[in-house]
């Protein structure tokens, strides 16, 4: 499912996509809930993936295929000219 976040730099959409094997996505946050940096929003199981749609003010810190850790890996930063 999709989770839409409002950030100071604009909207961010997180799309959790269940894989063919596990077919399990769990979203733990609710509409209107405020989140802290690094807070986990849910769980995906084996063979699943997450797509992140960012405003143009952000620049990706990772590339397709990189392994990331929830709550630890910085996946994007604001572009210096956007601050």
- Residues annotated as part of the active site: 48
Start-to-end Cα distance in the chain: 31
Is-contact 68 75, C-beta < 8 A? yes
Token pair for 80? 């210096």
């Amino acid at each position: 499912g999709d989770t839409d976040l409002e950030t100071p730099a604009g909207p961010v959409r997180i799309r959790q996509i269940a894989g063919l094997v596990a077919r399990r996505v769990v979203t733990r946050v609710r509409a209107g809930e405020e989140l802290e940096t690094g807070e986990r929003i849910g769980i995906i199981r084996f063979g699943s993936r997450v797509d992140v749609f960012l405003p143009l003010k952000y620049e990706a810190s990772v590339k397709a295929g990189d392994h990331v850790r929830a709550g630890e890996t910085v996946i994007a930063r604001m572009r210096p000219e956007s601050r």
